[in-house]
Amino acid sequence: MRAWLAHHLHSLATAMRQFGETPLSTLFTILVIGVAVALPAGLYLLLTNLDRAADGVKPQAELTLFLKLDIDATAGRALAERIGQEADVAEVRFIDRAEGIARLESAGLADIAAGLPENPLPHTLVIKPREETVTAMEALGARLQVLPESERVLLDSDWIKRLTALMQLGRDLIFMLAVILGLALAAITANTIRLQIYAKRDEIEVARLIGATDRFIRRPYLYFGGIQGLAGGLSGWLLVMIGLGLLGDSVSQTATAYGVEFSLQALGLSELIALLSLSASLGWLGAFLSVTHTLREVETF
């Protein structure tokens, strides 16, 4: 155990010395990796904040049940109470005919309402479901439509479908971008380590002659790739935080102008850990693939 730990500490120290040997090129590589990490991370953060903003402005998911004209107010209120006791219904509001015509008048249609010989509006139930998905709302609407007191059920779920489709499209685009830039991150690390191995091919050949295994030779480069990926992830996170700082005041002022309070939210701790772990893993993977392939090439030296 002590020998294993000593070997890994030696490999880690060797990797850190490699950073010190080429500080400028390493810095530029980390910045390039940071940009590759910041693009999908920033888009993910943008989508998350848009989702939060949409929760504050999207209309309430409701169904409107128009009762038959021969259903009186007493029967309508009893039906509202019965529907309100169902498990998938959060709230039911009963709107009688008089309130319905009053709403028309308050909406600027007083002249039209005054010209009517009698109130043509039915009693109405406005129903709020517990689950605001399209499937749940359509199932509830179909069940309400077959009630004997029901004349028509108005279900406006198009906005839910559009919002869901747009958010899913955004997630798919972010996933595709993350995959592409993740491959770029691994390729950058692989190319950097490949150049390092070729620059030290004489040292590698001597190490092999005195009995060093490929695993021993490979280990410092794996540490180098993982640390470089981790540093790139940190720089990407810093770029995202700088962007949030630059846009934060403008977003808050825009939200205030529209009478709402909204501020951009940064990555949470769990999201930051996932981002850094992923970038470090991709750096390690690029290093592993590169050093394994390149060591086979230098066997003939």
The third-level CATH classification (topology) of the domain covering 63-156 is Alpha-Beta Plaits (3.30.70)
Residue extents of the structural domains in the chain: 2-57+161-300, 63-156
pLDDT along the chain (301 residues), means of 10: 68 72 79 84 80 60 81 83 84 77 54 52 81 78 84 72 74 80 77 71 68 73 84 89 82 69 78 87 83 68 45
- The confidence score (pLDDT) of residue 214 equals 67
Sign, Cα dihedral of 78, 123, 65, 161: negative
- The confidence score (pLDDT) of residue 301 equals 45
SS3 132: coil
Alpha helix segments (H runs only) across the chain:
2-21, 23-57, 73-84, 97-104, 110-114, 134-145, 158-199, 201-209, 214-257, 269-297
Instruction: Tell me how far apart the alpha carbons of residues 37 and 235 are, in angstroms, rounded to a whole number.
Output: 8
Q: Which token pair is 108?
A: 């600027």
Residue with tokens 């600027």: 108
Instruction: Tell me how far apart the alpha carbons of residues 144 and 141 are, in angstroms, rounded to a whole number.
Output: 5
**How distant, in Å, are the alpha carbons of 4, 21, 131, 221, 294 from that of 9?**
9, 19, 54, 13, 24
Instruction: Tell me how far apart the alpha carbons of residues 300 and 205 are, in angstroms, rounded to a whole number.
Output: 9
What value does the CA radius of gyration of the chain take, rounded to a whole number of Å?
32
Q: 129 — alpha (psi -120 to 50), left (phi > 0) or beta?
A: beta
Residue 121 φ/ψ, nearest 5 degrees: -80, 140
- The confidence score (pLDDT) of residue 118 equals 55
